Amino acid sequence: MRHSLPLAPQFYVTAPQPCPYLPGRMERKLFTALQGGSADKLNNALSKQGFRRSQNVLYRPSCSDCAACLSARISVDRFRPSRSQKRTIKRNRHLHRRASSAWATEDQYELFRTYLDSRHADGGMADMDVFDFAAMVEETPIRSRVIEYTEETTRALQAVCLTDVLDDGLSMVYSFYSPDVPAQSLGTYMILDHVEIAREAGLPYVYLGYWVPGSPKMGYKASFSGLELYRNGNWEPFRSDDGYSSDTHPLSTDPIAEQVANISLPDMRS
């Protein structure tokens, strides 16, 4: 007997584990598989509702006693670089940008390992080998690109970003860069350059992942003008950092069943 996959995606919840952003808290994720001919439709729809992609999975934080993780995006039309960001653009004018299909290379992995060992040696990705890295880059059922930044003269690889192309913007899935040139602010530069790429392509947003109030790891995202956060089912302009303390309250989250019921799904039949 032949069985077909259900049209409506099935949602699941991960087991709680220590939060990587806020000490003393536990994280939990709501997730669904990203597969089949409607993968692009599902990714586009759920990205607009605070979900992120990791290989063939779409996920969103769904912690039982905290709602601090807020999906963040930059409105391209509203973005205006600060003086510091203008200096960052100027410092990196010597870099050459190259976009290619989602294919992993040895040079990328070498830079990835150098970045992890320097910045995130005790993080959840620290044990990734070359096969794990290749899977992270290449296992994508949607329109993804690897954007490399190399020295104009030596062609030495300095920074890389795995980027998804959505129907309303660019989603920066994961980026890494050389830790040997901190003055160049390469992480910031890649975001600034993605805003420019989106502007050139006529796309209104650049999706940055999650911003977490109270987490030093995520503080840099608040420095970009035009920032919007997905909160209570809507995108809203970013306020000051101290305007989101209620999201860490233990009664700030809805039950899982209610969260799933409120997800807007695309028509998966065509």
- pLDDT at site 249: 64
34, HSE (Cβ side, Cα atoms, 13 Å): 24
- pLDDT at site 108: 98
Q: Nearest 5°: CA angle at 217, between 200 and 117?
A: 95
Which CATH number is 73-241's, of 3.90.226.30, 3.40.50.150, 3.40.50.620, 3.40.630.30?
3.40.630.30
User: What is each CA distance from 263 to 29, 41, 42, 44, 51, in whole angstroms?
Assistant: 15, 14, 11, 13, 10
Q: Residues 6 or more apart from 199 whose CB is under 8 A from it? A: 76
Domain boundaries, the chain: 11-70+246-261, 73-241
CA distance 225 to 73: 10
- pLDDT at site 246: 56
- pLDDT at site 119: 77
Residues in the chain: 270
Look at the pTM and tell me if it is higher than 0.85. yes
pLDDT by residue for the chain (270 residues), tens digit each? 344 445 678 999 999 999 888 888 889 999 999 988 899 999 999 999 999 999 999 999 998 888 889 999 999 999 999 999 999 999 999 999 999 999 999 999 999 999 998 876 666 677 899 999 999 999 999 999 999 999 988 999 999 999 999 999 999 999 999 999 999 999 999 999 999 999 999 999 999 999 998 888 888 999 999 999 999 899 999 987 666 765 666 666 778 888 888 899 988 765
Q: Give the burial class of 182: count Cβ atoms within 10 A of its Cβ; 0-12 exposed, 13-18 middle, 19 or more buried.
A: exposed
| Strand positions, DSSP E, the chain | 11-13, 17-18, 26-27, 29-33, 52-54, 57-61, 70-75, 95-101, 144-151, 157-165, 169-177, 205-211, 227-231, 234-237
Q: Give the burial class of 259: count Cβ atoms within 10 A of its Cβ; 0-12 exposed, 13-18 middle, 19 or more buried.
A: middle
User: What is each CA distance from 67 to 184, 251, 256, in whole angstroms?
Assistant: 33, 9, 13
- pLDDT at site 4: 45
Residue written as tokens 């709680």? 16
